[in-house]
Structure 1
């Protein structure tokens, strides 16, 4: 999710499409939050790992 968010963010900035930039930023933030919660050992959504 973090990689997809970063790719969409870069494409949105290069192409000048604000919708892609917004979606990319949201995916990046949500992916980072899930990664941090998972790294601390906290179960997110009933799962400890996301594969």
Structure 2
């Protein structure tokens, strides 16, 4: 996931008016934020079950 985000960032530095790629980048960043938030919230519960 992080590689694709970095690739989109590089692409957007060159193609600044590419709106569709920008929206895709924002969606991936928000998805990553949600996953990290979920992991931080439920991390203790998962570790105690193992």
TM-score range normalised by the length of the shorter chain: 0.5 to 0.7
What TM-score do the two structures reach when normalised by structure 1?
0.57
Structure 1 outlier segments of 4+, above 6 Å: none
- RMSD in angstroms over aligned alpha carbons? 2.2
Q: Which blocks of at least 5 consecutive residues in structure 1 are unaligned?
A: 43-47
Of the two, which has the highest radius of gyration? Answer: 2
Which is richer in helix?
2
Q: Which blocks of at least 5 consecutive residues in structure 2 are unaligned?
A: none
What TM-score do the two structures reach when normalised by structure 2?
0.58
Q: Name the count of aligned residue pairs.
A: 42
